[in-house]
Amino acid sequence: MTESLLTKSLTLSYGDFNIIEDLNLSIPLNEITVLIGANGCGKSTLLRSIARLLKPKKGSVLLDGEDIFKLSTKQVAKNLSILPQSPVAPEGLTVLQLVKQGRYPYQSWRQQWTEKDEEIVLSALKATGTEHLQDRPVDELSGGQRQRAWIAMTLAQDTDIILLDEPTTYLDLTHQIDVLDLLFELNQQQKRTIIMVLHDINLACRYADHIITVRDRGVYRQGKPEEIMTTDLVNHVFDLDCQMTTDPIFGTPLCIPYGKGRKI
Amino acid sequence: MKHVKTIRLLQQKISFLIDVQAIKKLTVICILTLAVFFLSASFGDSFINPFKVLQAFFGYGSDFDQLIIIDFRMPRIFMALFAGMALAVAGAVLQGIIKNPLASPDIIGISAGGGAAVVGFLAIFSDSNHSLTVSIEWLPLAGFIGATIVGCIVYLFAWKDGVTPNRLVLIGISVSAFMQAITTMLMIIGPIYQASEANKWITGSVKSSDWDQVQIVVPLIIVLLLITFFITRQLNVQELGDDTASSLGQPVQKTRLYLILLCSSLVASAIAFAGAIGFVGLMAPHIARRIVGSSFGVLIPASAAIGALLVMVADIIGRTAFSPLEVPAGVFTAAIGAPYFIYLLFRNPKK
Amino acid sequence: MILKNNYSKMIALLVGVILLLLSMGISIVYGYANTSIQTTYESFRQFNNSNEHLIIQNVRIPRALIASCVGASLAITGVLMQTLTKNPLASPGILGINAGAGFAVVFAMIFFHISSLQSFAWIAFLGAAIAALSVYGISFSGRDAVTPVKITLAGAAISALFASFTQGLLATNEAELDQVLFWLAGSVQGRKLEILLSVLPYLVIGWIAALIISPKMNILALGDDVARGLGLRLGLMKILVGLIVIFLAGGAVAIAGPIGFIGIVVPHFARKFVGTDHRWLIPMAALLGGILLLLADVAARYIIMPQEVPVGVMTAMIGTPFFIYLARKGGKK
C-alpha cells in the first residue's frame, strides 16, 4: 500500500517559462482528488509531473518519501498509473490487446498471461463495460467506447493510485457519469486513490473528496468542496461571476454561472 | 474471448495469450514461404523438379543436381530468405517506434549510409588505373559499418533530452538525403565501372552469394531476429505512445535506444552482402499488419515471412524472366510487392 | 523564432526577396568564368558579342532564372504535399513525381535513344503526370474516402514501383547509366532558356493557384472532418492540390530532373520563420526554395572545378546541417 504522495518545492516549466513554481503539495490518499482551474493554468502539467511523465525543473515528487525519478520506473508503474489526455491506439489494435498492455509492469517475456493477468484484465473489461467490444479494433470505436477501453487498460495496471487527465472529454453526459461512477466505486470499494483533472466544476464538487484549485503558478486553495467552493473562489480561479447553491439531490456545492441566456 | 487461446505451462512460469486466427494466418504465410523456398531451388537456367530438389537437399540427389542446388542455388536462396526477414523485421520495429506509415530503414538513412560507405570504399581503394587495391570481399564490411555508423549518427543528432519519434524521422530523412548526395557525387566523379558496381549494390542482389557469406550473416541475423521476437512486448507498449509507455513502467528512452540499435544491426547485416534491397522494409510490415493485425507477437514473424517471400520471389523472377540476363532481386521486390500492397489498401480497409 | 505579427512576417518576406535577388546576382557573376555586375549590366545595354556577354546572356541568366523557378516550385509543392498528407515526410516525390519522371527518361533513353535535354523535359513531365495521376487514381478508387494515409501509402507504393523499374533498366543497361546519372541527380546546368519558357506557363499557373488556395489549405490542415464541417469541398480541393503539384513539380522535374531535398526540407525551414499559416508559408517557402537552389547551384560549380556537381547533391549537402540544427532547436513535440 502506498503511504504518501507529495511534491516538494516543485517547479515545472516548458522551456524558460515556469508553469508551476515552488509547490509543496500533499495528495490525500484513498480519496478522490480533482484538480480544477482555468485553461492553461498548469493543472495537466502538474498531473503529468506527479506521474513522472514530465521532469521537474526543480524540486521533486515523492512517492513514499522517495523521489519518483529515482525509483525504478516499473516499480512506480505498480503503484501509480496515468491515463494521458486523448491517447491514440495503433491502427487495428483490438480492445483486448490494448487492455492486456496494462499488465506490462508485472510481466516478463515468458510470463505474459498468468491467471492473475487474466482475472484482472477480465475484471477491468467488466468494470468498464467493454467486454463485448474486446475483439474490436480500438480505432473503430466511438469516442465513449474508446475512452472506456483506455480506462480499462489503466485499471488493468492494478495500482493504488490512478491519475486521469480529463477522462470525460469527448463523452456525452451519460458516459461522463458512467466513467465518474466507475472511478467513484473503485475508490469506495477498493480504496484506490484517484487524482484527476476535470473541467466541469459541478461534477468535480459531486465526486471529489478533495479539490485543488490551480492558479498563478501554484495552488490557490484546496480542501473539501463544500468548504472551499465559494463565489469568490470561482471568481478568482476562473474569472467567472456565478452564484453558488446546493445541489438539490446530492447536497454538494452547485455553481450557476452568470451570463446571458433565456430567462423564464 | 472467442478468438484467443490461453497457454500456461510449468505452474504458470510460462504463460501466453494467443490469437488463434492470427496464428492460423501466420501458419499459412509460413508454409507458403517454405514452399517458395524449395520451389525457388527448382528455378534457374535449368528447371529441376521439386521432388529432386528435396532429394538433393537431404543429400540423396544425383551429383549434378547436388552441385546445382546445394552449391549454386542454395546460398543465394538462403541469403534472400534471411535478408528479406531482417529488412522486414527492421521495418516493423521502426514503424513501431516512429508510428509513421512511411518509416522504413530506407527513409531513416540506414540503407543510404551503407550505400555511401560502399561507394566511398570503391573510391578510396582504387588506384589510378581504376582497379581496386584491396579485395572486393571487403565491400560488404564497408556497407555494414556505414549502415551502423549512420544509424548511430541519426540517433545522436536526434537526442536532445530524449529522442522523440518526430525528431528521429526529421533527422533521419535529412541524413539520408545527405548520404545519398555523397553517394551520387562519388558515383559521378568516379569512373563508370565504380558507378555501376555501386549501383548494383544499391539496387540489391543476392546473385553472388556463396556459402561463406551465408555462414557469416545467417547466424547473426538469426540471433538478432530471436532478440527481436523476445522483446515484442516492449514494442507493443512503445507503440502506445511515450506517455502511456512511461505510465506502464517502460524506460522509454532506453528501450528506444535498444530498438534502434537492433534495427540498425538487422539492416546492416542484411544489406552487407545482399545490398540495399529497397521496399521490403517499408511494405512487408504494412502487408503483415493488414493480414495478422497489430500485435507485435505475430506481426514480427509475419513481417519476417512476408519479407522473405518478397525477396525470394523477386530473386526467382530476376534470374528466370530475362534469362540469360540476370536482373537484381531489388528490382522486383517493389514490382511484385507494390501491386499486392495496393490491392490490400482497397480491399475492405475496415472490417 | 516563429514570427508572430504580420508586420514582421512582411519584413521577412521582403528580406527573402532581397536575398533571392542577391543570390541571383551571385549566380550570374560567379563561376568558372567570373564576370561582374557591371558587365552584366552592359550586356543588356550594349551587347557586344564578347565571350563574357555571351556567357552571361546564354548561360548564366537562364541558369539563375531556372534555379529560382525550380527551387520555388519544389518548395511550394512540398508545403502542399505535407498539408495534404498530414505527414512531415511528404514531398512531391511521394506523389511519384520524381520516380515517374526518372523512369520515363531512362525508358526513353534506352528504348528510343533520346538524349536531348529538350526532349527529356517533355518525357519527364509526362512520366511525372502519369505517376501522380495513378497515385490519385488509386487513392480515389475503393469504397472509403480519400484519407491522407491512403494517398501517402499509395504514393509510396507507386514511387517504389517506378524507382525499381528504373533501377532494373539501369542495372541491365550499364552503358546508359553514366549518361543518365547526371540527369537523375538533378541539375540546372546547360539548360536553355527555351526549356524554361516552354514550361513557364504551367509554373506560373501553379504559383498563382497555390496562392489563391492558400487560405483553403489552412482549413485542409485542420483535418478532413473539420474541413468538411467548415464547408470545404474536400474531393475537389484534393484534386486541385494534386493538379497544382503536377504542374509545379512536373514542370520542375522536366527542367532540372529530380531534385530531392528541397521539397521535403524547405517547408520545414519556412515554418520555422512564419508559422503554419499557408498565406505566409507558401510565399516564404517559395523564396527559400529559390535561394537554396541558387546558392547550391553556385556551390556546385566550385566543389570540383572545372567539373560540376549536380545541384541535387549540393542542396542536400548545404541543407542538411541547417535542417538538423532546426530540428534540434525546435521545442518539444
Task: State how far the Cα of A103 lies from the Cα of B249, in Å rounded to an integer.
Answer: 10
Task: State how far the Cα of A46 lies from the Cα of B19, in Å rounded to an integer.
Answer: 39
Which alpha helices (H) appear in chain B, and where do they start and end? Answer: 20-42, 50-57, 63-66, 74-98, 110-124, 139-158, 165-189, 192-203, 211-230, 232-238, 242-247, 252-274, 280-292, 296-320, 329-346
| pTM of the complete model | 0.84
Residue range C6-329, CATH number: 1.10.3470.10
* Whether the predicted pLDDT of C177 surpasses 90: no
Task: State how far the Cα of B4 lies from the Cα of B15, in Å rounded to an integer.
Answer: 13
Q: Is residue A263 part of a domain?
A: no
Task: State how far the Cα of B249 lies from the Cα of B271, in Å rounded to an integer.
Answer: 35
- Give the residue from chain C lying closest to A91, CA to CA: C149
Question: How distant is the Cα of B183 from the closest Cα of chain C, in angstroms?
Answer: 9
* Whether the predicted pLDDT of B330 surpasses 70: yes
Task: State how far the Cα of A191 lies from the Cα of A189, in Å rounded to an integer.
Answer: 6
Question: How distant is the Cα of C105 from the closest Cα of chain B, in angstroms?
Answer: 17
Question: How distant is the Cα of A90 from the closest Cα of chain C, in angstroms?
Answer: 13
Q: Any idea what the Cα angle at residue C107 is, between residues C103 and C181, rounded to 5°?
A: 65
The single residue listed with the C-alpha cell 524506460 is B251
Cβ–Cβ under 8 Å, residues B74 and B48: no
Instruction: Quote ipTM for the complex.
Output: 0.85
> Where on the phi/psi map is residue C96: left (φ > 0), alpha (ψ -120 to 50), or beta?
left
| Beta strands at B4-9 and A253-257: parallel, antiparallel or unpaired | unpaired
User: What does the pLDDT look like over C277-314, one tens digit per residue?
Assistant: 999 999 999 999 999 999 999 988 888 777 788 888 88
Cβ–Cβ under 8 Å, residues C310 and C300: yes
Task: State how far the Cα of B148 lies from the Cα of B112, in Å rounded to an integer.
Answer: 11
User: What does the pLDDT look like over B236-290, one tens digit per residue?
Assistant: 999 998 899 999 999 999 999 999 999 999 999 998 888 888 889 988 998 998 8
Task: State how far the Cα of C161 lies from the Cα of B96, in Å rounded to an integer.
Answer: 24
pLDDT band with cut points at 50, 70 and 90 for residue C325: confident
pLDDT at position C176 is: 73
Contact B244 A87 (CB under 8 A): yes
pLDDT at position B223 is: 95
Residue A121 DSSP SS3: helix
Identify the burial level of B11 via C-beta atoms within 10 angstroms of its C-beta, where 0-12 means exposed, 13-18 middle and 19 or more buried: exposed
B16 bridge partner residues: B7
Contact A113 B6 (CB under 8 A): yes
pLDDT at position C1 is: 61
The single residue listed with the C-alpha cell 472509403 is C144
Number of residues in chain C = 333
Contact B330 C164 (CB under 8 A): yes
Query: Residue ranges per domain, chain C?
Result: 6-329
* Whether the predicted pLDDT of A228 surpasses 90: yes
Q: Is residue A262 part of a domain?
A: no
* Whether the predicted pLDDT of B351 surpasses 60: no
Q: Any idea what the Cα angle at residue C121 is, between residues C117 and B198, rounded to 5°?
A: 70
Which of A65-69, B6-10, C171-175 is modeled with the greatest confidence? A65-69
Cβ–Cβ under 8 Å, residues B197 and C325: no
Task: State how far the Cα of B11 lies from the Cα of A161, in Å rounded to an integer.
Answer: 30
User: What does the pLDDT look like over B157-184, one tens digit per residue?
Assistant: 988 888 888 788 878 888 888 898 888 8
Cβ–Cβ under 8 Å, residues B186 and C307: no
pLDDT band with cut points at 50, 70 and 90 for residue A235: very high
Chain A neighbors of C332, CB-CB under 8 A: 14
pLDDT band with cut points at 50, 70 and 90 for residue B2: low
**What's the grid cell of residue C75?**
518548395
- Give the residue from chain A lying closest to C149, CA to CA: A91
Question: How distant is the Cα of A33 from the closest Cα of chain C, in angstroms?
Answer: 29
User: What does the pLDDT look like over C79-112, one tens digit per residue?
Assistant: 998 898 887 777 887 788 888 998 998 898 888 8
Task: Report CA Rg, chain A.
Answer: 19
A71 shares contact with chain B (CB less than 8 Å) = no
Q: How many CB pairs under 8 A join A and C?
A: 3
The total number of structural domains in chain A stands at 1
pLDDT at position B293 is: 86
Residue range B73-346, CATH number: 1.10.3470.10
**What's the grid cell of residue B253?**
528512452
Task: State how far the Cα of C315 lies from the Cα of B184, in Å rounded to an integer.
Answer: 12
Q: Which domain CATH number covers A209?
A: 3.40.50.300
Other CB atoms within 10 A of residue A246 CB = 12
Contact B247 A51 (CB under 8 A): yes
Which of B203-217, B244-258, C1-15 is modeled with the greatest confidence? B244-258
Nearest to C65, CA basis, from C108, C21, C97: C21
pLDDT at position C333 is: 38
For residues B301-314, give the mean pLDDT: 94
User: What does the pLDDT look like over B132-150, one tens digit per residue?
Assistant: 777 777 888 898 999 999 9
For residues A62-88, give the mean pLDDT: 90
Contact A84 B16 (CB under 8 A): no
For residues A103-125, give the mean pLDDT: 87
Q: Who contacts B19 (Cβ-Cβ below 8 Å, separation ≥6)?
A: B3, B4, B293, B295, B298
A195 bridge partner residues: A33, A163
pLDDT at position B350 is: 44
Of the residues B20, B25, B247, B258, the best mutation for testing chain A's interface (the one with the most A CB atoms within 10 Å of its CB) is B247
A197 shares contact with chain B (CB less than 8 Å) = no
Longest dimension (CA), chain B: 70
A246 shares contact with chain B (CB less than 8 Å) = no
Q: Who contacts A226 (Cβ-Cβ below 8 Å, separation ≥6)?
A: A205, A252, A253
Task: State how far the Cα of B311 lies from the Cα of B314, in Å rounded to an integer.
Answer: 5
Q: Any idea what the Cα angle at residue C281 is, between residues C277 and C284, rounded to 5°?
A: 150
